[in-house]
Structure 1
Amino acid sequence: MTTDRFQATYLIETPLDPAKVAEVMAGEQSSGTFTRVAGETDELRSRTRAVVTDVEELEATASPSLPNAWLAKKGIAGPWRRARIAISFPVDNVGANLATLASIVAGNLYDLGEVTGLRLDTITLPASFRRRFQMPRQGISGTRALTGVMEGAMVGSIIKPNVGLSPEETAALVGKLCAAGLDFIKDDEISADPVHAPLAERVPAVMEVVRRHQDRSGKAVMIAFNITDETDAMKRHADLVAREGGTCVMASLNWCGFSAIETLRRATDLALHGHRNGFGALSRHPLLGISFQAYQTLWRLAGVDHMHVHGLQGKFAQEDEEVVTSARDCVTPLSDGLDDRVLPAFSSGQWAGTAQPTFDAISHSDLLFMAGGGILAHPGGPAAGVASIRQAWEAVAAGTSLAEAATAHPELRQALDFFGKVAG
């Protein structure tokens, strides 16, 4: 890949010749349309045309993945051929414009009449192009510095109940979670600025508790306040968090949009905790939407510091392998020579017992390991829940089995006995 071009790869399904469909895609997303038009000179095409660089045909299928009225009107039937294709695009067609980059690598491609399935798989950028976009302000190293956790997994939890607590009740719960020994506490994604707990009241109440805990213990707990809103409101909320001594804000990426997150990134140095809720709508069908590699690439260009990846053996629909590859994507630089890694945030059904498969799969502890019930429902209480998770991560990092570690740690033993039955 040269410095003047970037590449996207796709999985497509079509009853037509995949190589010809790939050329249609390249034309549609650069200088062409369904027919050559006036002004589309050879010089213009050589400067702006996307180029198909690879077509790998896969096994065909007997039925289409998605309906297609265009093919039906033309009476075109299967077999339905599948292929992986790679297309190279000129950097100068985009500039430092994230919304346009997304529309080029995806956009109208999903509506093409030639396909009965299309999935954006990967995006690869030259370093010079990547540098034109936002970088994480905190990332992994900055989050470690802000929380004081310089090695090992960072342990976090979520405000529960998700909604309904007043500012004072939220602050009281945060105080208990801080005392339990957490590194990180976040709002739920559905609780941003509700009438019963507006951020204008909740942030000062919570941060007063956090500051008192830091004064007593020396521990600075990171609180991810959910400031999801329209752009100007998010900037105001971030300013409030910063004034109160906070270090992190959270936003629901899909519903705020690239432009809002880019604007927020430029406006604050706070860690941006990127919540991907809604990603399933973009990813769960294997022949439609976008893979996590491409998805997180786009959001990292917006400048997020943390990305949710769900959790192994969790409560959501993703296979464990998808969770693992998502976490690896987060800690892989987007371009050679750059450290733009972001912190993978594991959540959903996590507890001490899932530390082992997580470490076995990714072999490192540069992650945020969040547990709700795995901490709050521990039979010994929240402090025992946090202790059990720390004990589990210390054990797996040292190559000790959880069963063996549990003989010396009653909190871990309780977790294995209690949650192991639930998980099983």
Structure 2
Amino acid sequence: MSDDRIRATYLIETPLDPARVADVMAGEQSSGTFTRVHGETDALRARTRATVERIEELEPASTPSLPNSWLGRQGRAGPWRRARIDIAYPTANVGANLPTLAATVAGNLFDLGEVTGMRLESLRVPPRYRALFDRPAQGVPGTRRLTGVAEGPLVGSIIKPNVGLSPDETAALVAQLCDAGLDFIKDDEICADPAHAPLAKRVPAVMAAVRAHQDRTGKRVMVAFNITDETDAMLRHADLVAREGGTCVMASLNWCGFSALQTLRRSTGLALHGHRNGFGALSRAPLLGIGFDAYQALWRLAGVDHMHVHGLQGKFAQADEEVVESARACLQPLADGADDAVMPAFSSGQWAGTVPATWAAVRNPDLLFMSGGGVMAHPDGPAAGVASIRQAWEAVQAGETLADAARSRPELARALAFFGAKA
């Protein structure tokens, strides 16, 4: 790839010639429109026009994936041709401007009349362009340092109930989870600054429990406080967390936006836990939206440290293959030579029994393995739930089956009997 080009890969569907559509896409998102206009000189086009680098035609479809009035007015019918297209954009068109980068690679393309399907699959940037944006402040090594977990997966949980607990009740639950042996605890995405437990009271209460646990054991548990809000409020919340000795904050990426996350990143050295809730609206339709590979690239340019990828054999709709590809993408550099991996966060229906599939697929311990019910609902209590997950990870990394490991590990045996019956 040229050192001054951003490369995006798309999956399209159209009744037209894919090469013609690719040319329309390249023009629409750079120097052109549907026809050449005044001032659009050959020199300008040579300098600023996006270029089509590859077209791979795929099997056509018998019906269109999306409605399209523009094609209907022209009486266009199938076959509905599908193709994978690579387009390269000059970095000078965009500059160090993340919202405009997103508008360039994922803007009006979704509304083009020529297509009945449009999906941004991946995004690659050159090293010099990557250097213009923020890197994770903590990433994998910083998260390990802050939690004191030098090797193996970090075991985490989510505060449940999601909402309703007072600051003191939340702190008591956090104390219980710290004593259970967790490395990481996070707020749920729907609990940020509620009236019954505002962050101004919840953060000091929770951090008092975390500090007390650290004083007793030497272990500092990382708590990801959900500070999702308007930008100025998030900055205030992050300052409060830092003053109280916290190490991590969480934000709902899709609802805060790129600019807010960039501002937050540049204002704090806390780990930023990126929660992707709402991503399904962007990704679940096979021929519409944004795939996780492109999605995580954009958010990593904002400087997040952790990215949610859901979980294997979990409760959500994503196929296991998509979860695995998402985790691997987080651990790969965004550009050649970039040391900017972020820690993938596995969650949603995770428990000791989903550990073998996770290890077999990823084969990398640099991850957050978060379990809500798998910890809190263990029949022998949260400490046994945490122990069962750690025992499962020890077993799979040693090449041992869970059934064999459970013979000498009662917490794991109870988890397999209890949760396995519900699976």
The reply to whether TM is greater than 0.5 is yes
Aligned ranges 1:224-243 → 2 under 5 Å:
224-243=224-243
Aligned ranges 1:251-262 → 2 under 5 Å:
251-262=251-262
Q: Give me the whole-angstrom Cα distance separating, in 2, the residues matched to 1:297 and 1:376.
A: 33
Q: Give me the whole-angstrom Cα distance separating, in 2, the residues matched to 1:285 and 1:314.
A: 19
Report what 1:314 is aligned to. 314
Report what 1:288 is aligned to. 288
Report what 2:395 is aligned to. 395
Q: Give me the whole-angstrom Cα distance separating, in 2, the residues matched to 1:145 and 1:402.
A: 29
Report what 2:86 is aligned to. 86
Q: Give me the whole-angstrom Cα distance separating, in 2, the residues matched to 1:382 and 1:51.
A: 55
Report what 1:369 is aligned to. 369
Structure 1 counterpart of 2:21, which letter?
A: V
Report what 2:420 is aligned to. 420
Report what 1:70 is aligned to. 70
Cα deviation code 1:14-70 (max 9, x no counterpart)? 000000000000000000001101110111000000000000000111110000000
TM-score (norm 1): 0.99
Q: Give me the whole-angstrom Cα distance separating, in 1, the residues matched to 2:68 and 2:2.
A: 36
Point out 4+ residue stretches in structure 1 off by more than 4 angstroms.
Answer: none
Structure 2 counterpart of 1:407, which letter?
A: R
Other structure's SS at 1:249 match: strand
Structure 1 counterpart of 2:381, which letter?
A: G
Q: Give me the whole-angstrom Cα distance separating, in 2, the residues matched to 1:365 and 1:403.
A: 21
Q: Give me the whole-angstrom Cα distance separating, in 2, the residues matched to 1:104 and 1:96.
A: 13
Q: How many residues align?
A: 423
Other structure's SS at 1:404 match: helix
Instruction: Quote the RMSD (CA, aligned, Å).
Output: 0.4
Structure 1 residues not aligned, in runs of 5+: none
Other structure's SS at 2:307 match: strand
Q: Give me the whole-angstrom Cα distance separating, in 2, the residues matched to 1:308 and 1:368.
A: 9
Cα deviation code 1:176-235 (max 9, x no counterpart)? 000000000000000000000000000000000000000000000000000000000000
Q: Give me the whole-angstrom Cα distance separating, in 1, the residues matched to 2:219 and 2:120.
A: 43
Q: Give me the whole-angstrom Cα distance separating, in 2, the residues matched to 1:363 and 1:226.
A: 30
Cα deviation code 1:304-344 (max 9, x no counterpart)? 00000000000000001000000000001111111100000
> 1:404 Cα deviation (Å)?
1.0
Q: Give me the whole-angstrom Cα distance separating, in 1, the residues matched to 2:416 and 2:335.
A: 41
Q: Give me the whole-angstrom Cα distance separating, in 2, the residues matched to 1:394 and 1:298.
A: 34
Q: Give me the whole-angstrom Cα distance separating, in 2, the residues matched to 1:61 and 1:335.
A: 35
Q: Give me the whole-angstrom Cα distance separating, in 2, the residues matched to 1:270 and 1:167.
A: 22
Report what 1:344 is aligned to. 344
Q: Which is further off, 71-80 or 240-249?
A: 71-80
Aligned ranges 1:3-402 → 2 under 5 Å:
3-402=3-402
Q: Give me the whole-angstrom Cα distance separating, in 2, the residues matched to 1:94 and 1:408.
A: 59
Other structure's SS at 2:133 match: coil
> 1:101 Cα deviation (Å)?
0.2
> 1:408 Cα deviation (Å)?
1.2
Identity of aligned residues (%): 75
Cα deviation code 1:136-185 (max 9, x no counterpart)? 00001100000000100100000000001000000000000000000000
Structure 2 counterpart of 1:177, which letter?
A: L
> 1:400 Cα deviation (Å)?
1.1
Other structure's SS at 1:422 match: coil
Cα deviation code 1:266-292 (max 9, x no counterpart)? 000000000000000000000000000
